[in-house]
Chains A and B, each alone.
Chain A
Amino acid sequence: MKNKLSNTGGTPDAPAPGRTTGAGRLLITVYGIFAISASARAGFQIATAFKDAPLAYLLSAFAAAVYIVATVSLARRGHKWAVAATVSICIELAGVLVVGLLSVFDARAFPHATVWSMFGQGYGYVPLVLPLVGLWWLYRHRDRAAAPK
């Protein structure tokens, strides 16, 4: 069964795989989903129960902002955006490790859930794995990203 939508993409001279194509699209998709859900969750927490735990909910908002920056910079071409993606994903990795460790060893400091609590347990540990995959992906495409467009 032939399909109009799928037919035109099969040209032999498809663009060379780059940072924003192929598996990169899937990575950007997952980052985008986390950007949306973290933003929505932080917005809801701050709007309805900010007084309960201002620190945890500001942390949620910070995490959401990091995911948004990572999503956008992963999706953009060019060296500067690759650097921006690397920096934001390093911040993400540091965040999930620090908040994860704090929530394990000092549970009283983080009684209120954030995306990064317990190393992202509530999100299937995807928040822990995602920055590692992201950094690996950026490392694999470092030369291409540095080359002038």
Chain B
Amino acid sequence: MTVDGWFYVGLVVGLASTIICVVAAVTRKKPNDITLVSLAGVELFILVYAGASLVRLATGEHLAGAGWEFWGYMFTAAALPVAGFYWAMMERTFWSNYVMGAVGVTVVVMMARMAQIWYGLSPAVQHLQPGIGQ
């Protein structure tokens, strides 16, 4: 897998959100502006990444893997912060910060898969994942 700037930015935004939410949860804080904004930051990043990916594909770049798999990941990654927000807000205890913290790290994993689909898997790891993302 080739890592690019998008992945690194996603890594920073996602992990920052997870760390902020987990720290808030450990200190028994209820979801507040800071944790909610960190979640919104993850959502904003995914939307920008989706828009930029459309532009890149429209200007001649090609996906190494299947397009619908890539956009399936994109759609799910965009839905996760929203789902996490609703699921957390139904119960406003410090546990909700753990729930929101799970979103950022999950989005990072999905960013890694999207990078694999975009650039293709290196032969070294291809045998680990037969049947997905050729």
Contact = CB atoms under 8 A, between A and B. Distances in A.
Q: Do A and B bind each other?
A: yes
Interface of A: 1, 3, 5-6, 8-10, 14, 21-23, 25-26, 28-30, 32-33, 36, 40-41, 44-45, 48-49, 52-53, 57, 111-113, 122
A12 B131 CA distance: 52
B10 to A, nearest CB: 17
B131 A3 contact: no
Q: Which of B91, B106, B131, B132 has the most CB of A within 10 A?
A: B131
B36 A111 contact: no
A23 B106 CA distance: 18
A90 to B, nearest CB: 24
Contacts of B130: 49, 52-53, 111-113
Contact of A6 (B92, B98, B102): B92
Q: What is the interface of chain A mostly: helix, strand, loop, or mixed?
A: helix
Given A3-B32, A48-B131, A49-B131, 19 more contacts: A5-B92, A6-B32, A6-B92, A8-B92, A22-B91, A23-B95, A25-B87, A26-B102, A29-B99, A32-B87, A44-B69, A45-B131, A48-B66, A53-B130, A53-B131, A112-B130, A112-B131, A113-B130, A122-B128
A48 B98 CA distance: 35
Contacts of B88: 25
A33 B30 CA distance: 22
A33 B129 CA distance: 20
Interface of B: 30-33, 36, 66, 69, 72, 76, 83-84, 87-89, 91-93, 95-96, 98-99, 102, 106, 128-132
16 contacts: A3-B36, A5-B92, A6-B30, A9-B91, A14-B93, A21-B93, A22-B91, A22-B93, A22-B95, A25-B88, A26-B99, A29-B87, A33-B102, A36-B76, A113-B128, A113-B129
